[in-house]
Structures are given as structure tokens and as C-alpha cells.
Amino acid sequence: MIEGFIFDMDGVLIDTEDCHFNAWVDVMKGEGIPVTLETYLEKIQVQGRRRAVENLMANPSEETIARLSAAKEEAYLREVDRKKEVVFGDARLFLEKCRDMGIPMGVASSSSLAVRMLERTGLLEFFPVVVGGGDVKRQKPEPDIFLEAARRLGIHPEHCVVFEDAKSGIEAAHRAGMHVVAVDRLHLLDPSERFLRMVNTLDDLSLEQLLGV
């Protein structure tokens, strides 16, 4: 039985994955380190900033980690400012439908800016529970962030559905014992994996079917 939904944020609810990517390209250019899409997907996406820097540089000092993290945040917010609308239209509609059906919803995002971004985009009102990267010690693909969101929602993990777009996020949700709807907007995921559903946009989902009502 499905009782609650937990959403990843970047790439699922808001169109900002390219902002993270561009910000890292920009910041690491200053360090003479090229960041390709492949590097991003393998070493940066879904990682917190500290892990991202550690994955890109050999033995970075605390000062370097702090400096590059701050520069990345600045560059990311600049990228977001450039966009007129960052919320995916299908996501807003889907959240409205879920709210009308009374489904409890939370966000579990590795981003340290989760609350700030949800507030800025007007999405915070949908979510009584928001767990950000800073709220758990171990990041995705460890299951902690999803387990914490389920705990705060008061729902058993096996009754939760996670909406994710990234490989390591999907792994984290599976390790948490949750169902997964893979939101593959960029056609990057492997369709042979076991998902509850795999969709390109949230418009493709029937809530009634998903809930079995």
C-alpha cells in the first residue's frame, strides 16, 4: 500500500541540474580542471559540494573546499537567476493533484539549498517535510536521506514512493526499501532497471493507477 511520496528536487521538480553543471564547469575552470558532462554525472551529481571537490582534486585542503564550495553556490545562484522559470510545469500540476488527493509529501534533496530553492519557487507550501544534504551524515547512494524523510512523514519506508532522476538517488531509494518512479527527463537512465514506473515527465503518470485506487 502506498501512503506517501518523497521527491528529489533538482531535475525532478525544478529545472536546475544544468545550473549545478554550469556552476561546476565555471568554478573548476579557474582551477584548470575541465568538467565534462561525463565527469559531472560520475563524480559530482548528487554529491554534496565537499565530496564533489574531493572527487575532482587530489587532497584538497579545508580552505580549498570552503572556497570552491562558496564559489559554486554563487555561480549556481547566478545560473538560476538567468532562467525565467525554473519549476517544471508538469511537476507543479502533479503536486497540486497530489495535494488535492491528500497525499503526504516530502522532499529529500542532497542540495544544501533545498529549503531556499523551494521557497524561492513557491513549492515549499506543498511539503511539510524537507530533508536537505546537511541533515544527514551519509549522502545518496546511502539510504539515509530517504529514511529520514519517511521518518519525519511518519510513514513506513515500504509504503513510500520516491521520485528520482539520478542513478545514485535511485540506488539510495531502493536501499531504503522504497518504491521508485524514475523521472527520466533527459533519457539518461537504463530502462531495464526495476522501477515501479519510468516516465519522461510527470504528465505521463496516472495517480489513480499508481495508488491502485
Ligand X SMILES: O=P(O)(O)OC[C@H]1O[C@@H](O)[C@H](O)[C@@H](O)[C@@H]1O
Enzyme catalytic residues: 8
Which residues are CB-neighbours of 107 under 8 A, at least 6 positions away?
Answer: 6, 7, 8, 9, 13, 114, 118, 127, 129, 130, 131, 149
Upper half-sphere CA count for residue 43 (Cβ side, 13 Å): 16
Sites of contact with ligand X (CB under 6 A): 9-11, 17, 20, 44-49, 72, 109-113, 133
**Minimum distance between the CB of residue 15 and ligand X, rounded to whole angstroms?**
12
Q: Which is nearer to ligand X, 116 or 200 (CB)?
A: 116
Contacts of 206 (CB under 8 A, 6+ apart): none
> Other CB atoms closer than 10 Å to residue 1's CB: what's the count?
7
Grid coordinates 533545498 are at which residue? 114
Give residue 118's Cα distance to chain centre. Answer: 12
| Closer of 55 and 101 to ligand X (Cβ) | 55
- For the bound state, the minimum distance from the C-beta of residue 101 to ligand X, rounded and expressed in Å, comes to 26
CB of 48 to ligand X, least distance (A): 5
Residue nearer to ligand X on the CB measure, 44 or 150: 44
